[in-house]
Structure 1
């Protein structure tokens, strides 16, 4: 079980389970009641951790895609060792925490008439619109860039694995290996597609919010936000089901 792919799957599962445990229920309570009950410290964590967890999730998937690419397209090259794999996971989390740090740093709470809110107090009156640049960078780094990398890697792997049929006179060991490789790649393609579908509306919503703020004065925009947030958070629920159905281990 201590394979490179499984190390990254464990990291992916840890990131998504953590977000489910620490953010999903809190998000729901805050969205429904529109009041923050949990104090400044948790407000900062609440805004900070999802960005880090999503970054760790998507780059774990990217690392799996690149590992599958190297194993199938360049089978004679040396694979990552266990130590190197853990080091890559550590780098992924370090970069995730750095990317999410602005959301921690600028998080604040405010007492409004009759309620308390948790929000991100972005700096104003600067030469550049830091908030807009940050959200564009987040969308590129945790959505479009990794999906492009994974798309290219799995396309090359898919052509290699499915373009040629299994020879009729091949050994049972060869046939079993090829079928096992196909199963792993199928599973990861389903995981990546699920992530892409769940998170696309979320990123589109926040990009539109930055560039077309007038759209967000409509009557039912809060319901739209709840639907988009629910779909994004629900992505953490699907992977265990996918693993169970498509991976016998």
Structure 2
């Protein structure tokens, strides 16, 4: 069966029925202009935000703090994650026609998923690092060493590269109606529809569990324990209530932004996976909904990469001040040590 016009992360399959093949799958005309503009806006914001973070970490003199090394790696992962957004913008503006060839189709999809995993794993590692520093400050001296940090970074990048390998195998181009599409083709795994569905569901559900559910659970537990520790700390001192509220708002914003950017895309991918497992029919209505909703979910997923520099780097007062000085936007001055010590751990 020939592929049909689909969202960029969708795939070629033999599973669809004649009714679904006859569906009208064209998007609103505004999609071809709206989403390319949004993709380029996200790319530019991420380029400047993450670029400023990488520049600051690179120019930092002396021994880098553990948190700063994590922030630099996160910025690099986020910047690489959006590096192929201009290609996606062109792909969308041409009505999902891929003019860039087979190699870029494979490598761009692999790099995007690779760095998506790396970004989420780095956020989780930073959360665990903050948890250890705040909740277990004494034992953190033995755990938060440079050797442990480098070992965790090596594990993050290696695991991310391995988890993204299926994209390198199954992502390919196909020609249809004078149009070249770039999408997953599970027919490479075999001619069996059941086998194709299993591969599709396996990749989608592994993305759901490993890049959202498990990291989100770890973040919720760690930040919950951090909040309890902070409230206990401030209650004992009976002062700095305004600072306590600010720290609490920062933690809530981190969790809410991560969930808001991640839930839509993983919900749609999971729905596709469950459909391929036969848990509900792959109907014409579902196909139309997928065509309309997927670009919005994709935008939100990419938007997280341009928000991370502000949420995880510039909320660090010491880092923010250093970044502004390097960009010649602020005179050199010292941040009050008591405030810095507590906010830097967040």
Q: TM-score range by the shorter chain?
A: 0.7 to 0.9
1:216 corresponds to 2:286: yes
Which residue does the alignment assign to 1:73?
135
Unpaired segments ≥5 residues, structure 2: 1-62, 276-281, 320-346
Which residue does the alignment assign to 1:25?
86
Whether the 8 Å contact between 1:108 and 1:119 is mirrored in structure 2 is yes
Once the 2 structures are TM-superposed, how far is the Cα of residue 189 of structure 1 from its aligned partner?
4.9
Which residue does the alignment assign to 2:222?
153
1:112 corresponds to 2:176: yes
Which residue does the alignment assign to 2:311?
242
Which residue does the alignment assign to 1:163?
232
Write out per-residue CA displacement over residues 54-73 of structure 1, whole angstroms, 9 at most, x where no aligned residue.
11111111111111121222
Once the 2 structures are TM-superposed, how far is the Cα of residue 9 of structure 1 from its aligned partner?
1.3
Q: Which gives a bigger RCO, structure 1 or 2 (Cα 8 Å, sep 6+)?
A: 2
1:43 corresponds to 2:90: no
Q: Partners of 1:245 and 1:111 in 2: how far apart?
A: 45
Q: Give the TM-score normalised by structure 1.
A: 0.85
Once the 2 structures are TM-superposed, how far is the Cα of residue 247 of structure 1 from its aligned partner?
2.2
Once the 2 structures are TM-superposed, how far is the Cα of residue 127 of structure 1 from its aligned partner?
6.4
Q: Partners of 2:67 and 2:138 in 1: how far apart?
A: 17
Which residue does the alignment assign to 1:200?
263
Once the 2 structures are TM-superposed, how far is the Cα of residue 168 of structure 1 from its aligned partner?
5.3
Q: Partners of 2:222 and 2:161 in 1: how far apart?
A: 26
Structure showing greater radius of gyration is 2
Query: Secondary structure at 1:165's aligned position in 2?
Result: helix
Whether the 8 Å contact between 2:254 and 2:311 is mirrored in structure 1 is yes
State which drifts further: 69-78 or 201-210: 69-78
**RMSD between superposed Cα atoms in Å:** 2.5
In structure 2, which of residues 116, 120, 123 is the aligned counterpart of residue 58 of structure 1? 120
Once the 2 structures are TM-superposed, how far is the Cα of residue 126 of structure 1 from its aligned partner?
7.3
Query: Secondary structure at 2:173's aligned position in 1?
Result: strand
Once the 2 structures are TM-superposed, how far is the Cα of residue 163 of structure 1 from its aligned partner?
2.7
Q: Within 5 Å, which residues of 2 pair with 1:122-161? A: 122=186, 123-124=189-190, 125=192, 128=195, 129-161=198-230
Whether the 8 Å contact between 2:80 and 2:112 is mirrored in structure 1 is no
Q: Partners of 1:139 and 1:247 in 2: how far apart?
A: 30
Query: Secondary structure at 2:164's aligned position in 1?
Result: helix
Q: Give the TM-score normalised by structure 2.
A: 0.63
Write 1 or 2 for the structure with the bigger share of helix: 1
